[in-house]
Amino acid sequence: MSGHSKWSTIKRKKGAVDAKRGKIFSKLNKEIMVAARLGGGDPSGNPRLRAAIAAARAENMPKENIDRAIKKGTGELEGASNFEEVIYEGYGPGGVAVLVESLTDNKNRTVSEVRHLFSKYGGSMGEAGCVAWMFEKKGVIAFNKEAVAEDDLMEAALEAGAEDLQVGESEYEVITDLASFEKVKAALEAKGFQYDMAEIQMHPKSTVRVEEEKPAQQLLKLMEMLEDHDDVQHVFANFDIPDSLLEAMG
């Protein structure tokens, strides 16, 4: 089970990091603006914008907010900051690889603050490229194991064009390439499978098992604080913490 998917599950159970609606909307707003600026305001021809709009709708972001962000991105409305995409890489406790995607209007500020968070919570920020090679961009659709039958999901996913079905302790992950992500998601929805999470991720090629409580606690705190940073859009990691340890930690 990929670290980011497990982190997504932890956040859902905790009601977690971006609990404040304003912070969620702020991050979604940035992504929509940048997607529209780079690829145009028509979601049918801009997959990144289409994904950003879907994420915004999943968080019940009002339609007028979405439309305003698109228009700011395309220049039809004023007020769009010139956000730059920057990726930070490093290691968390236990040697876990951590990849941080940000949108910032002040790179000096953001790099300093992200480096501080790595150091504060038992990690270290590395050079560009130090962990990126451990990840690849994939579509990931996660399902609660108690809600679906593995054989039925496997058959439907592969028939729809998925690459793989990975089995975690509490979830199944359907893995797709980028081109097939939306098609597979729609096909599974049409067959009545209800997913807990569906998104494009930097998916780890392998995972690092973290089985001791102290590094696990530090790692989750690092993930939480990075995600909570205003300039950070996504945090990906290749950890695997056993569900039994998570439960023991509360």
CATH 3.90.1150.10 fits domain 84-133+207-249: no
Sorted by where each begins, the domain ranges of the chain are 19-74, 84-133+207-249, 134-204
**For every one of its 250 residues, what pLDDT tens digit does the chain have, with 9 covering 90 and above?**
445 556 766 665 655 444 556 688 889 999 999 999 999 999 999 988 998 998 888 788 999 999 999 999 999 988 777 899 999 999 999 999 999 999 999 999 999 999 999 999 999 999 999 999 999 999 999 898 999 999 999 999 999 999 999 887 788 999 999 889 989 999 999 999 998 888 888 988 999 999 999 999 999 999 999 999 999 999 999 998 888 888 888 7
Other beta carbons within 10 Å of 27: 22
Query: Rounded to two decimals, what is the model's pTM?
Result: 0.82
Which pLDDT belongs to residue 153? 96
CA distances for 47 relative to 15, 27, 32, 43, angstroms: 28, 18, 11, 6
Q: What is the pLDDT of residue 1?
A: 44
pLDDT in the model for residue 196:
83
Among the four given CATH numbers 3.40.30.10, 1.10.287.1080, 1.10.10.200, 3.30.1330.10, the one describing domain 19-74: 1.10.10.200
Position 12 scores a pLDDT of 59
Inter-residue long-range contacts of 162-168, CB under 8 Å, 24+ positions, other chains counted: 163/138, 166/1, 166/2, 168/1, 168/5, 168/6
Spatial separation of the C-alpha atoms in residues 27 and 186, rounded to whole Å: 25
pLDDT at 54: 86
Structurally, at CATH architecture level, domain 134-204 sits in: 2-Layer Sandwich (3.30)
Q: Give yes or no on whether 19-74 and 134-204 have one common fold.
A: no
